[in-house]
Amino acid sequence: MTEWLTARDVASLVGCHYITVARALESGELHGHQRHRGGRWRIHPDAPDVWVQGGDSAAPCGCSNVVPFRRPKGTAA
């Protein structure tokens, strides 16, 4: 069972502000899951590392094919 992170968890892990994480999630830059718009984000525990390195943060999640957000093409791992 994956232990999902919240946006606040990611903020403290990466050392940036919660708002920065929230904006990245909203834009799709950081891949996360939200049950409904405005709901609590859940982020795969490996995604923050990939995100800060500029990689495809959907890859650790395993759902690169299910992308509800815009994402640059050609960045597949």
Query: What is the contact surface with Zn ion in residues (CB under 5 A)?
Result: 61, 63
Give the nearer residue to Zn ion in terms of CB position, either 19 or 63: 63
Give the nearer residue to Zn ion in terms of CB position, either 12 or 69: 69
Least distance to Zn ion from the beta carbon of 51, Å?
12
CA distance 48 to 55: 10
Distance of CA 58 to CAs 7, 47, Å? 15, 7
Spatial contact of 77 and 59, defined as CB atoms under 8 Å apart: yes
Least distance to Zn ion from the beta carbon of 11, Å?
19
